[in-house]
């Protein structure tokens, strides 16, 4: 692929048109703000509250709690979940996330800080291998921070924000915070793309319906920088009316540790459409769908992007995925039913979440691009991986602060990947058990699970 294509970071913006003639509730955005007068509470990956709960003159707090019980029909003896950033433990109650923080503002100066505790404070930093470059244990330094950034708001156009620090990623559509998502276990498209960025962003609200946001960041879901080159990219979000949200995220960087010649390009594109809206209805109150398509490649340093090359250029290495969800709200938005799923193709496995437990790769002290250990999961050029998933759930939302969710999920991969009955830790399931010479992690090609979740937001 030509270099000019890699550098075209903002050319993928697709459009749909839709007219909604029913009653429109304008509750989310106040006069003078971006998206003024629009109801954004129905968005997949967005805050479903009509307004901030305890908004103050200088500080607006945020409190979120995510607790779940996930039953795996594979029943792994070590209770370990494989291939998920939302879940960590099977067949037991867990506190996945506790977030405390908020927004500070004074004379256009601004700061946004949100902590993270619970299993996600271990699960998510585990997937960042930039922390093995240099010292100071970045995975521990940032482990209990979900977001931490500060900047300044300029009263230009409809507002310009310049911020530096750690931000939540928009790539993959889903929010990092489960209380904002239509589904609990994210599809492969979201779960294998970044949850956070570390760097500088500029949010330009050109009109009340259009945001343009360039980034200069350390890398693809990385606290540190893999090589000397920072990542660059950006987001464009356009809401022609409150029933449609269109966005594109595009990224270019060098994210293979110790291989600066390998470049990554990724394009992520989503459309959200609300096609029915009767908020006062006692039966169906609204219906909407979200559609996301992702495409990316890695080229150089032994891999060849879209096509298999010769022995010099290496095999193909790309990422192609799609996910679709439809949601129907009932009883004045107190109940909701969501169904959908997705598909991912990822030759080279460069964005696949490595299995947990003894099957996880550990970075070599001599070559951080290689893996060591008794049973490392292979992610070398040419390794194939594809997967699909589908799910359905029922949400009960007695008010805008609490959600009780029951969800069924099926996931399947082209190679053994998920935790089977024998688990991925040891024959007994405990890390204290010495591994017999003939023991191997029990990885299987599919899993089915039921998730019970309680999601709170203040």
Which tens digits make up the pLDDT trace of 340-350?
999 999 999 99
Domain residue spans in the chain?
A: 61-457
Q: Are 453 and 405 in contact (CB under 8 A)?
A: yes
C-alpha to C-alpha distance for 93 and 370, rounded to whole angstroms = 35
Both tokens of residue 310? 């010769």
Nearest to 201 by CA among 258, 169, 163: 163
pLDDT band at 438 (very low <50, low <70, confident <90, very high): confident
pLDDT at 21: 31
**Diameter of the chain by CA atoms?**
68
pLDDT at 97: 96
Dump pLDDT digits (tens) for 286-298: 999 999 999 999 9
Both tokens of residue 430? 């405990």
pLDDT at 14: 32
How do strand 109-115 and strand 145-154 relate by DSSP bridges? antiparallel
pLDDT at 178: 95
Note the residue count of the chain: 458
Dump pLDDT digits (tens) for 182-238: 999 999 999 999 999 999 999 999 998 999 999 999 999 889 998 889 999 999 999
The more confident residue out of 173 and 16 is 173
pTM: 0.87
User: Which DSSP category does 358 fall into?
Assistant: G
The more confident residue out of 82 and 363 is 82
Rounded mean pLDDT, 60-64: 95
What proportion of the chain, given as a percentage, has pLDDT over 90?
64
Which architecture does CATH list for 61-457?
A: Beta Barrel (2.40)
pLDDT at 22: 33
Tell me how far CA of residue 373 lies from CA of 55, 137, 184, 377, 395, in angstroms: 50, 21, 32, 9, 42
């Amino acid at each position: 692929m030509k270099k000019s294509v890699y550098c075209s970071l903002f050319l993928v913006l697709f459009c749909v048109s839709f007219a909604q003639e029913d009653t429109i509730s304008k509750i989310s955005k106040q006069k003078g703000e971006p998206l003024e007068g629009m109801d954004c509470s129905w968005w997949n990956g967005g805050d479903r509250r009509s307004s901030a709960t305890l908004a103050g003159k200088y500080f607006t707090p945020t409190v979120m709690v995510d607790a779940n019980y996930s039953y795996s029909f594979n029943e792994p003896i070590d209770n370990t979940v494989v291939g998920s950033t939302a879940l960590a433990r099977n067949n037991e109650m867990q506190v996945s996330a506790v977030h405390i923080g908020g927004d500070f503002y004074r004379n256009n100066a601004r700061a946004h800080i949100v902590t993270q505790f619970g299993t996600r404070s271990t699960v998510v930093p585990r997937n960042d291998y930039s922390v093995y470059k240099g010292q100071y244990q970045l995975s521990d330094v940032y482990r209990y921070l979900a977001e931490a950034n500060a900047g300044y708001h300029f009263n230009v156009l409809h507002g310009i924000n310049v911020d530096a620090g750690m931000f939540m990623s928009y790539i993959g559509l889903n929010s990092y915070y489960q209380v904002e998502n239509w589904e609990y276990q994210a599809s492969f498209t979201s779960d294998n793309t970044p949850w956070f960025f570390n760097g500088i962003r500029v949010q330009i609200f050109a009109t009340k319906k259009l945001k343009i946001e360039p980034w200069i960041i350390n890398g693809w879901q990385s606290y540190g920088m893999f090589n000397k080159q920072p990542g660059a990219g950006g987001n464009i979000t356009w809401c022609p009316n409150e029933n449609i949200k269109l966005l594109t995220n595009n990224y270019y960087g060098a994210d293979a540790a110790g291989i600066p010649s390998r470049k990554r390009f990724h394009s992520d594109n989503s459309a959200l459409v609300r096609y029915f809206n009767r908020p006062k209805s006692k039966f169906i109150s609204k219906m909407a769908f979200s559609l996301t398509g992702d495409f990316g490649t890695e080229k150089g340093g032994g891999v060849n992007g879209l096509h298999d090359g010769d022995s010099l250029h290496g095999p193909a290495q790309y990422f192609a995925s799609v996910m679709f969800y439809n949601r129907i709200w009932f009883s004045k938005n107190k109940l909701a039913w969501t169904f959908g799923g997705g598909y991912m193709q990822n030759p080279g496995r460069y964005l696949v979440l490595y299995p947990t437990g003894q099957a996880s790769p550990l970075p070599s002290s001599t070559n951080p691009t290689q893996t060591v250990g008794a049973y490392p999961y292979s992610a070398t050029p040419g390794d194939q991986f594809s997967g699909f998933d589908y799910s359905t759930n029922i949400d009960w939302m007695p008010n805008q602060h609490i959600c009780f969710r029951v969800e069924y999920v099926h996931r399947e991969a082209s190679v053994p990947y998920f935790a089977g009955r024998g688990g991925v830790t040891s024959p007994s399931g405990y890390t204290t058990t010495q591994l017999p010479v003939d023991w191997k992690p029990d990885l299987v090609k599919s899993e089915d699970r039921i998730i019970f979740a309680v999601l709170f937001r203040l």
